[in-house]
Amino acid sequence: MPVQDSKTHVALLVSPGMGHLIPFLELANRLVLHHNLQATLFVVGTDSSTAESNLLQKPSAANIVPLPHSSSTLDPNASYVDIINAMMTASFPFLRSSITTTMPRPAALIVDLFGTQALSIAHELGMLGFVFMTSTAWFLSLSFFYPSMSKSMIDAHVYNHEPLEIPGCTPVRFEDTIEIFQLNREEIYEGFGGFTRELGTADGILCNTWQDLEPITLKALTELGNLNKEKVNQVPIYPIGPLTRYSEPNLKSEVLKWLDRQPDESVIYVSFGSGGTLCAKQITELAWGLELSQQRFVWVIRPPAGTDPMGIFFTVGTGSEDDSAPEYLPEGFIKRTKEVGLVVPMWGPQAEILSHRSVRGFVTHCGWNSSLEGIVNGVAMVTWPLYAEQKMNAVVLTEELGVAVRVRAEGVVGREEIERKVRMIMEDEEGREIRERVKMLKITGEKAVSKGGSSYDSLARVASKCDIFRRRRDGGC
């Protein structure tokens, strides 16, 4: 006897980190509000991240379920990839038991790159399994082709610094490659390979990009191709971006009050994401660079954390906007810049800052979520990549899209370089052309996610696939 018809239910599993959590929340909300599905978001959180906790407490169209995991036995000196992998693996038994008791029974499970090993759970429980890549199509192409790359190809890249060739896509220069290749640790290769091998088992891959942003790479991904005589890209690709957090109307904030008092497009915003940190010497150089540029600025600053650019990835908090001036800034910096600058300890409302009329530029670590927030708000960028795939993102922003300039230096970036790049974005003719391009891209992103746009229709196909699968599975048609 056919079951009573109801909305199709989709489960989502997201790994730790604001860069994954924000687009997953937006995806879940869009599936509910625009595509008539139910959604449950299973979250593997960091426990100590108050920024994540605060975000999860905001109203959502999806049901939010925290997943327990055991992190007490993790090696604190392990790489972030190993730590996240261990947390995700520990959460899988709880995910399985939660899904089996969830009603109505989900038709699909959507995971991120760190959760691809849960695709087997989805298929075992009679569900579709999708992957949502929260980065560029270029990084997706690298991840997708990685399991088929020969050892000689990888060795030539890692040891001889030869470009990594990806069929149909821009080659990846070694100086811009993902962090695991530059760290050159065999166990990290194996971990990355474990995540990427499962991509070929997915029923579809969603990507936080859109057709007009990366047309060449998306074309290469969606056409059948070969690598080492093995067909590797027959999984459907669904560009559904830009999915990112938009500003909250009427948000009360001292930062926004300060921005209200500034002239239009006169401020550069400086932030290195939810987990990025700089060493003490680099903070000093950045402070001097901002001061020498003579530009108005808002700088979200965190304490120096040695040489680890991900020093607070698992512990980021929200801080307080009225905290006293950080003692690790150059002596007199706050006093000298008080008329033109605002230093915000730990955290600031980024979406609201970037959408403010007074903001013209953005110094960013190139996390893809931050990069998209810059684009969707029409803000030109200075790229300063720190870890993961952020150097690849910087290449996309500067060389392919032309919406940013990049700081260049070996080791610590000097104050003169910082001053030059800030002025370039805020004042120079080159900066004017960049600002015009990013505003044009903003329009294409808005069209893509609007009803009838390429990304809207792409996500609609995913929702329809889930709906048809659920009706057939449950005997509804």
Residue 98 near residue 65 (C-beta atoms within 8 A): yes
CB atoms within 10 A of CB 356: 23
74 pLDDT band, cuts 50/70/90, is low
Q: What is the pLDDT of residue 363?
A: 98
Mean pLDDT of 296-308: 84
Query: Residue 466 and residue 477: Cα distance in Å, rounded?
Result: 14
Candidate list 9, 35, 112, 212, residue with the active-site label:
112
Tell me the pLDDT of the chain averaged across its residues.
89
Mean pLDDT of 24-51: 89
**pLDDT 10s digits, 215-265:** 999 998 887 554 444 455 679 999 999 999 888 877 889 999 999 999 999
Give the residue with greater pLDDT, 17 vs 463: 463
Interior/surface letters 250-259, b for 16+ CB within 10 angstroms, e for the rest: eeeeebbebb
pLDDT of 284 higher than 70: yes
Residue 112 designated active-site? yes
Residue with tokens 């402070």: 287
Mean pLDDT of 375-403: 97
Residue with tokens 């670590």: 365
Q: What is the pLDDT of residue 238?
A: 97
Question: Does the pTM of the predicted model rise above 0.85?
Answer: yes
pLDDT of 1 higher than 50: no
Task: Give the alpha-carbon dihedral of 298, 304, 305, 309, to 10 degrees.
Answer: 40
User: What residue spans define the domains of the chain?
Assistant: 9-245+450-473, 254-445
Query: Residue 330 and residue 83: Cα distance in Å, rounded?
Result: 35
Reference 21, options 59, 61, 51, 63; nearest CA is 51
Mean pLDDT of 302-320: 59
Q: What is the pLDDT of residue 476?
A: 60
Residue 470 near residue 411 (C-beta atoms within 8 A): no
Residue 323 designated active-site? no
Do 9-245+450-473 and 254-445 show the same overall fold?
Answer: yes
Q: What is the pLDDT of residue 251?
A: 85
Query: Residue 43 and residue 23: Cα distance in Å, rounded?
Result: 13
Give CATH for domain 9-245+450-473.
Answer: 3.40.50.2000
Candidate list 20, 35, 157, 356, residue with the active-site label:
20
**pLDDT 10s digits, 358-382:** 999 999 999 999 999 999 999 999 9
DSSP letters spanning 289-328: HHHHHT-EEEEEE----TT-TTTTTTT-----TTPPPPTT
Give the residue with greater pLDDT, 187 vs 281: 281
Q: What is the pLDDT of residue 55?
A: 78
Tokens for 9? 């239910």
Fold of 254-445: Rossmann fold (3.40.50)
Query: Residue 459 and residue 462: Cα distance in Å, rounded?
Result: 5
Q: What angle do CA 475, 112, 348 make, to 5 degrees?
A: 125
Q: What is the pLDDT of residue 318?
A: 47
Query: Residue 466 and residue 108: Cα distance in Å, rounded?
Result: 6
**pLDDT 10s digits, 199-213:** 999 999 999 999 999
**pLDDT 10s digits, 430-446:** 899 999 999 999 999 99
